[in-house]
Structure 1
Amino acid sequence: MSERQLKIGLSLVSNGTHPAGWRLPEARADAALDFSLWKEMAQAAEQAKIHFIFLADGIAVRTAASDDDALSYSGRIDQFEPLTLIAGLAASTEKIGYIATASTTYNEPFHIARKFASLDFISGGRVGWNVVTSWSEAEAKNFSRDKHLEHSVRYGRAEEFVDVVRGLWDSWEDDAFLRDKEGGRYFDPAKMHVLNHVGEDFSVRGPLNIARPPQGYPVIAQAGSSEPGQELAARTADLIYTAKQKRDDARGFYESVKGRFGKYGRSTDQALVMPGIMPVVGKTMEEAQAKYQRIQEFIHPKVGLAMLARTFGDLSGYNLDGPLPDNLPTLDGVKSHREPLLKMARDNNLTIRQLYMRVTGAAGHLQLCGTPESIADTMEDWFNAGACDGFNIMAPYFPDGLYEFLNLVVPVLQKRGLFRTDYEGRTLRDNLGLARPAHPATRMKRSA
C-alpha cells in the first residue's frame, strides 16, 4: 500500500460541470434544483469515502459575452445558494465534508464568520470556505456598483477579510463557555476576546456571537494562479485549487505556491494542492471517447465564445476557424486562466473554435476520457510526480457522470492503495490530515 494517499473532492455545480452535459439523454436536465437528487449524490460520495463536496458559486447570472442569447444554451444557470444547500446535506450525511464558495468582495466579514461557524456546528466540524474575490461585472451590478473592483484591490481586500474572519472565530477560547448553573456564570469573561479591528477596508469590533467553531477555523480553500492569488493561497489557504492541463505545469505551480509558504511561517504540509479533473469514464477507451464526443457535439458556438469572453473579451466578430487575434485585450476578471489558455492555443496552433471546444467542457481544467484504469493511471502519475496532493473531480453531468467515477474509478484507486477505504476522523480537518489551529491565547500560554 502507498504511504501517501490521494485526497479527493467532488466539484458539483448546477447540472454538472460541462455546460452541454444536460443535453445527454441519460442526464438529468433538472438536477440543479432537485434536493432529493443532491442528497442521493452526497450519500453516494460518502459511501465512496470522498473527502468533501465543493460547491462553486457566483452571485449573478455571469457572462462576459456581448450576446446575452448565449446564456440560453448553457445548463449552468440556476443553482442552490451553497450555504443553504450545505445545511440540508449535512443533516443527510455523517462524515463527508462540504466546502462552500463565498465572495470577499460582496460580503462582510462578520456575516461570513458567523455563517461558517454556524455551519461548522451544524455539520459537526465538516465545513470549509472557498475564498473568492468574484470576477464579473454582472456581480458588481447586483451590489449597487457599476464596475467590478480592480484585481489588486480585490486581493488586498480579500487578505484583510480573511484576517478579520479568523480573528472573529477566535472571539472565544475553546473552553470559554462555562454554563455553570450553580454559580450562575455562563462564560468566563477572561476568555472572551474583542477583536477591535480597524483596517483599510474594514472596521469590526466583535466579538462573534457564537462559540469558537469545532475545527477552530473551518477549512479555508482558495483558487488563483496569478501572483496575488498564489500569495493569498500561501498566506491563508488549507486547500489550493488550480486548473492545469499538463503534469509538468501542475508540478511547476505546486512548487511555486508551496515555495512561498516559508515567508508566512508555514510548512509545506499545512496545505493541499488539488487540481481539477473532469473525467468521462467508459468500460473501454472507445466507449469513453464516443461518450465524450457526444457531449462535445452539444456545445453551442455561442456558449463556447461566451466561455472565452471571460478571458479574452468578445471574439464573436472573428473567424471561428482562424487563430486567436494578436491584439487581445487584458481583462480584469479571471487572470489566472489567461496565460495557460494563450499558451495552449499558441503551442497547438488552435483555432478559436478548437480552443473553445477544448476548454468549454471543463473551464480549462484537465479532461480525462478513458477507462477506470487509464484515468487512475493519470491520477497516480501526477500524484507520484509531485504535481498535486489530490484532485477535485468535476462531474460532467448528473447523476451518471458522477456515479461512474465513484463506482468505477474509486475502486481502482483503492485497490492500488492510493485512496482510503474509510474515514480517518470526525472533522474535515481530521480527514484531510490538517491540524486544528490552536487559539492564539493558548499558543501564547504555551510559549510563555
Structure 2
Amino acid sequence: MLIPGRFKLGTFSSNCSGGMSITKVPERWSASWEDNLRLARMCDAAGLDFMLPVARWVGFPGDEIEFMHSVLETTTWAAAILAATRVIAVISTVHTAVNNPVVVAKQIATLDAIGNGRPGLNIVAGWFEPEYKALGLQLPKDHDTRYGYAQEWFDIIRKLWTEEDRLDWPGKHFNLEQVYTDPKPKRGTVPIINAAGSAQGRQFALNNADFLFTPAIDLARSRTEIADIKAQAVAKGRPIDVITFSHVVCRPTEAEARDYHAYQISQSDWGATDYAVAAQFATALSFPHDLLIQIRTSFAAGHGGFPLVGSPEQVVDGIEQLIDAGFGGTGLSFVNHADEFPCFAQAVLPILERRGLRSIAR
C-alpha cells in the first residue's frame, strides 16, 4: 500500500517488453503474463509499495528490435495483478484521449473492489504522436489544449465518484446525460499520479494528483524543482509527493554490476533509442531538453531512469541521494525484472531498513 511518510518503492513498466531497457540482450524482459504474475507475487511478498505500468499501443522501431512491441493493457493487467496479490498497490495508466471518463470511473472503481482499496490511477494527457495517428486521432500541438481536455475528463470522474444522483454534464469536450457510476471507490477516490514536465502539466498535477512523476536526470536541478513544487502545493492547500524512476543493475560487487551495465549498453539498439529520444523531444517536456547528450545513453540503459548501478550498498547510496533530493519514491526497472528482483529484495531492502531510509519523508 502507499503508506504516507514512507519512501515508496515499486516496479515500473513490467507490462512492456524490454521493460525500460532498449537492449538486444537475449535475457531482456519479455513482459509475458506469466513473468508479470511471478514478479507481482515476489514484490507483494517483499513489501514493495506499488506496480506502475506504461500504456502503449505502438512501439519504438529500431535497427534490430522494436522496443515495447508487446504490451499488456494496463487496466485489465491491474485487475489480474490485484486479484493475485494481497498488499501491494497496483496502478492503471490511462490516456485521456483514448478512454471515455465514464468508462474509466467504473473501471477504477471495479479495480478498487477487486483489490480492496489498492488501485491507483496514472493520468496521461498525451505526448506520443505516432500512437495518436495509429488510433486515428490528432495530438494537440499545445499543452493548454491537452491539459484542458484532461482536466474536464478528470472532473467528470471525480464527480461520478462523489455524486450519488445521476448527473448531466454539458461541457466543452463532453456532453453527458443522466450518467452515474456504481460501485464507487471505497474512500471516494484512489491515489492519482501524473507525469508532468511542462508548466501546464505541473499545474494539472498540483491541482489533481497525489504524486507527480518526473525523471531524476540532474539531482541538483531536481532538488530545486521539488522544493518549488512542494511550496506551490502548500500554497494550494493540498500536499503532493514527487516520485521518479530508476534503472537497477545490482550485483554482489561493483565490478560485476558495472561490467553488466556496460555489456547491456553495448547491446543497445541505437535506432530504437534515437527514435524514442526524438519522440520525447518532439512533443513532450518530461525531460530537460538541454541534457540531450546525457539522456541518450541513459535512455538506452533504462529509458532515462536514475542509474542505481553497483553493489547492494551502492544501490542504497543511490536511493539515499534520491531521498536527499526530495523524492518520495521511485519506480524500479531491471533488464529482467523477475530474474533480478530477488537480489534487490534479499540484499538491498534489508540495508534500506537498517539505515532507516524507508521511513524517511522529506
Q: TM-score, normalised by structure 1?
A: 0.74
1:392 matched to 2:339? The reply is no
Mark the CA change 1:28 to 1:297 in structure 2 (over 3 Å): closer, same or farther. closer
Whose strand proportion is higher, 1 or 2? 2
1:380 matched to 2:335? The reply is no
Distance 2:253 2:183 in 1: 52
Could you tell me how far 1:380 is from its partner in structure 2?
Answer: 1.7
Distance 1:5 1:265 in 2: 21
User: Among residues 97, 111, 115, which one is paired with 1:119 in the alignment?
Assistant: 111
User: Among residues 54, 65, 75, which one is paired with 1:73 in the alignment?
Assistant: 65
Q: Report if the CA contact (8 A) 2:63-2:270 is conserved.
A: no
Distance 2:308 2:261 in 1: 10
User: Among residues 182, 201, 207, which one is paired with 2:173 in the alignment?
Assistant: 201
User: Among residues 407, 411, 428, which one is paired with 2:350 in the alignment?
Assistant: 411
Matches of residues 23-172 of structure 1 in structure 2 within 5 Å? 23-24=25-26, 27=27, 31-33=30-32, 35-58=33-56, 60-63=57-60, 68=61, 70=62, 72-145=64-137, 147-150=138-141, 151-171=143-163
Aligned-pair Cα RMSD in Å: 2.2
Deviations 1:56-100 (A, max 9, x none): 112x2144xxxx5x2751342101111111111112111111001
Could you tell me how far 1:22 is from its partner in structure 2?
Answer: 5.8
**Aligned-partner residue type, residue 93 of structure 1:** T
Q: Secondary structure at the match of 2:297?
A: helix
Match of 1:315?
none
Distance 2:28 2:21 in 1: 13
Match of 1:295?
264
1:361 matched to 2:266? The reply is no
Q: Report if the CA contact (8 A) 2:24-2:268 is conserved.
A: no
Distance 2:347 2:65 in 1: 31
Distance 1:355 1:231 in 2: 25
Matches of residues 301-316 of structure 1 in structure 2 within 5 Å? 301-312=270-281
User: Among residues 204, 214, 232, which one is paired with 1:232 in the alignment?
Assistant: 204
Q: Secondary structure at the match of 2:6?
A: coil
Mark the CA change 1:22 to 1:114 in structure 2 (over 3 Å): closer, same or farther. farther
Could you tell me how far 1:18 is from its partner in structure 2?
Answer: 3.7
Mark the CA change 1:79 to 1:221 in structure 2 (over 3 Å): closer, same or farther. same
Q: TM-score, normalised by structure 2?
A: 0.91
Mark the CA change 1:307 to 1:165 in structure 2 (over 3 Å): closer, same or farther. same
Mark the CA change 1:261 to 1:197 in structure 2 (over 3 Å): closer, same or farther. farther
Larger Rg: 1
**Aligned-partner residue type, residue 19 of structure 2:** T
**Aligned-partner residue type, residue 251 of structure 2:** G
Could you tell me how far 1:104 is from its partner in structure 2?
Answer: 0.8
Match of 2:311?
371
Q: Report if the CA contact (8 A) 1:16-1:395 is conserved.
A: no
Q: Report if the CA contact (8 A) 1:62-1:136 is conserved.
A: no
Mark the CA change 1:139 to 1:206 in structure 2 (over 3 Å): closer, same or farther. farther
Between 113-122 and 85-94, the greater mean CA deviation after superposition: 85-94
Q: Secondary structure at the match of 1:399?
A: helix
Distance 1:387 1:263 in 2: 18
Q: Report if the CA contact (8 A) 2:54-2:93 is conserved.
A: yes
User: Among residues 273, 282, 290, which one is paired with 2:242 in the alignment?
Assistant: 273
Could you tell me how far 1:21 is from its partner in structure 2?
Answer: 4.5
Distance 1:71 1:258 in 2: 42
Q: Secondary structure at the match of 1:361?
A: helix
Q: Report if the CA contact (8 A) 1:159-1:232 is conserved.
A: yes
Could you tell me how far 1:118 is from its partner in structure 2?
Answer: 0.8
Mark the CA change 1:264 to 1:309 in structure 2 (over 3 Å): closer, same or farther. same
Q: Report if the CA contact (8 A) 2:112-2:118 is conserved.
A: yes
User: Among residues 182, 193, 196, which one is paired with 1:210 in the alignment?
Assistant: 182
Could you tell me how far 1:206 is from its partner in structure 2?
Answer: 4.5
Match of 2:11?
10
Could you tell me how far 1:164 is from its partner in structure 2?
Answer: 0.8
Distance 1:126 1:76 in 2: 26
Q: Secondary structure at the match of 2:84?
A: coil
Match of 1:19?
21
Could you tell me how far 1:263 is from its partner in structure 2?
Answer: 5.1
Could you tell me how far 1:225 is from its partner in structure 2?
Answer: 1.5
Mark the CA change 1:382 to 1:149 in structure 2 (over 3 Å): closer, same or farther. same
1:335 matched to 2:274? The reply is no
Match of 1:244?
216
Match of 2:255?
286
- Runs of at least 5 residues in structure 2 that lack an aligned partner in the other structure: none
Q: Secondary structure at the match of 1:419?
A: helix
Could you tell me how far 1:401 is from its partner in structure 2?
Answer: 3.0
Distance 1:355 1:285 in 2: 23
Could you tell me how far 1:396 is from its partner in structure 2?
Answer: 2.9
